Amino acid sequence: MDNVTQRHAASGASPEGAADERSAAQAVQKMFDEIAPRYDLLNHVLSMNVDRLWWWRTARKFRPILQRSEARVLDLCCGTGDMALALRKQSAAGAAPMMAANFAHQMLKRGREKFVGKGILAVEADALHLPFADNNFDLVTSAFGFRNLANYQAGLEEIRRVLRPGGEFGILDFSEPGGLLGKLYGFYFRKVLPRIGTMISGVRGPYAYLPASVEKFPAPKLMTRQMEQAGFTEVSWTPYSFGIAGLYRGKKG
């Protein structure tokens, strides 16, 4: 690989065949548009409905912010909107409208249908180039989407840019547990889950990519270090379900 290619190599998600950050982002966008029709069903089946608990737990963590009627909230990489809906359920009555952003059109289209009458505005936007002013939000969240960014550090810096001073953010995403559970889960995640996902969705690529993306995603210690390098304070990671998933939190100083 020459020096130019090295400088532009993806420092985040890198689907098979992606040579740089731009092609990595395009590949991720295409994958999620392809699986959008069965995305919700597959999430619930493959997680045995534990994903609903993870969204609820995450939303509860941010209830003090959500209960402020003037709080401005953004759910990033929102998928079909389930995290945004969980956050909205914890919001104060008459709270300001929330924003839910995603760059995969077909995913956002399904989310927009769920948002009708819920006070959530769907925005088609790239998480690395958000169309929002600096210091705009009190809370930014991302559930199982941040891991798919083509550049993790750039994603953290963009989140920090749009947060107000003192604003908080949370990233809910997969991790790899250790011990015997980790070995059992690893077998399911790498061997069983891709086959079920491919069978139900009819599309192979995304469910082969999923375990690879989790394997590449920084381990909690490294991820929290990256958050601190991006300028966040009060950084933490809380494991869910024995470390199968977890919530990263930070605050803009």
**Could you tell me the pTM of the whole model?**
0.91
Mean pLDDT for the chain? 90
Question: Does residue 173 register a pLDDT over 60?
Answer: yes
What pLDDT does 205 receive?
74
Contact 147, 173 (CB under 8 A): yes
Mean pLDDT within 220-229: 96
Q: CA torsion sign, 37 to 130 to 139 to 239?
A: positive
Three-class secondary structure assignment of 212-245: HHHHHCCCHHHHHHHHHHCCEEEEEEEEEHHHCE
Every domain of the chain and the residues it spans:
20-175+222-252
Give CA–CA dist 119/232, Å, rounded.
Answer: 29
- Report strand pairing: 245-252 vs 232-240: antiparallel
Give CA–CA dist 149/159, Å, rounded.
Answer: 12
Compute how many other C-beta atoms are within 10 angstroms of the C-beta atom of residue 185: 19
Query: Could you tell me which of 41, 85, 78 has the C-alpha nearest to residue 59?
Result: 85
Whole-angstrom Cα Rg for the chain: 17
Question: Does residue 88 register a pLDDT over 60?
Answer: yes
10 Å CB burial of residue 76 (0-12, 13-18, 19+) is: buried
Give CA–CA dist 115/84, Å, rounded.
Answer: 9
Compute how many other C-beta atoms are within 10 angstroms of the C-beta atom of residue 240: 17
Give CA–CA dist 104/124, Å, rounded.
Answer: 7
What pLDDT does 199 receive?
85
What pLDDT does 1 receive?
35
Mean pLDDT within 75-85: 97
pLDDT category of residue 195 using cuts at 50, 70 and 90:
confident
Cβ neighbors of 203 (< 8 A, separation 6 or more) are 31, 34, 35
Residues 47-66 have pLDDT tens digits of 878 999 999 999 999 999 99
What pLDDT does 3 receive?
35
Lowest mean pLDDT, pick from 28-42, 154-168, 181-195: 181-195
20-175+222-252 belongs to which homologous superfamily?
A: Vaccinia Virus protein VP39 (3.40.50.150)
Mean pLDDT within 3-16: 58
**Helix 39-47 and helix 50-61: axis angle, to 10°?**
100
Q: What is the DSSP letter of 38?
A: G
